[in-house]
Amino acid sequence: MVNIVCMKWGSVYGPEYVNKLYRGVARNLTMPFRFVCFTDDSDSVDEPVECKPLPPIALPPGYEKSAFNKIALFAETLDDLEGMTLFLDLDVVIVGNMDIFFEFEAPFCIIHNWLERRKTIFRKRPRIGNSSVFRFRIGEQAHVLDDFHANPSRAIKGFPTEQAYMSDTVNGLTFWPERWCRSFKRHCIPPTPLNLVRAPGLPRGASIIVFHGQPNPDEAAAGFDSNWRKRTLPAPWIDRLWA
């Protein structure tokens, strides 16, 4: 038995994001699994999903709704869960086999965060993860939450994001193979000006498409019109796979 967990707080994402994520996992994971949503509002979440309260973390005032909530997952115990656990952000779309994320051997696995192409001309990508998809064994990274509680100012003021803090603090930081998790913005949308005439594609070999920032999956499926450089044509494969 393996665990898939997600977190939903506030009103940015509705219950349909949880339900579609569960169904995407169920279609693509052959192992027995528990699917748990840690949330402050379980209304309209489908019954196969186990809804549990957000795990406790002492966040400074003003950060109660921040992504630093994810650090709470590194507690020594996490409700009644145990063993290997894969965290998924709500705004990802499952497009391929999920078994690989549990078969990959490493203490802690995460996406290697993407940078805009222009920012990689003169430097390598820093060793910072993207916390949309990461895997850990419950209790093995408890020092991360302990470190946060001992010095929350270091975490919040010393790092631009929770994923930068996480990458600096975990033991055994390892990146997933690049092709497994792809960015919709970086790898699906054709480069400008081809984005105006070609629809976003589905990268070969991908299992998860990550929608960081805009557009969200529903916006991308319909076509997103921000400005001419970021405009996307409709991507009907999203409706087929995110259902």
Pair (172, 124) in one structural domain:
yes
Q: What amino acid is encoded at 141 in this protein?
A: Q
- Given pLDDT bands bounded at 50, 70 and 90, which one contains residue 117? low
- pTM, rounded to two decimals: 0.96
Pair (173, 124) in one structural domain:
yes
* Residue finishing a domain among 179, 200, 227: 179
Count the domains in the chain: 2
pLDDT at 143 over 60: yes
Pair (226, 149) in one structural domain:
no
Dist CA 24 CA 240 (whole Å) = 10
pLDDT (tens digit per residue) in 55-71: 999 999 999 999 999 99
- Domain region containing 226: 182-241
* Residue finishing a domain among 127, 147, 179: 179
In this structure, the strands spanning 108-112 and 84-88 are unpaired
Burial 51-69, CB ≥16 within 10 A → b, else e: bbeebebebeeeeeeeebb
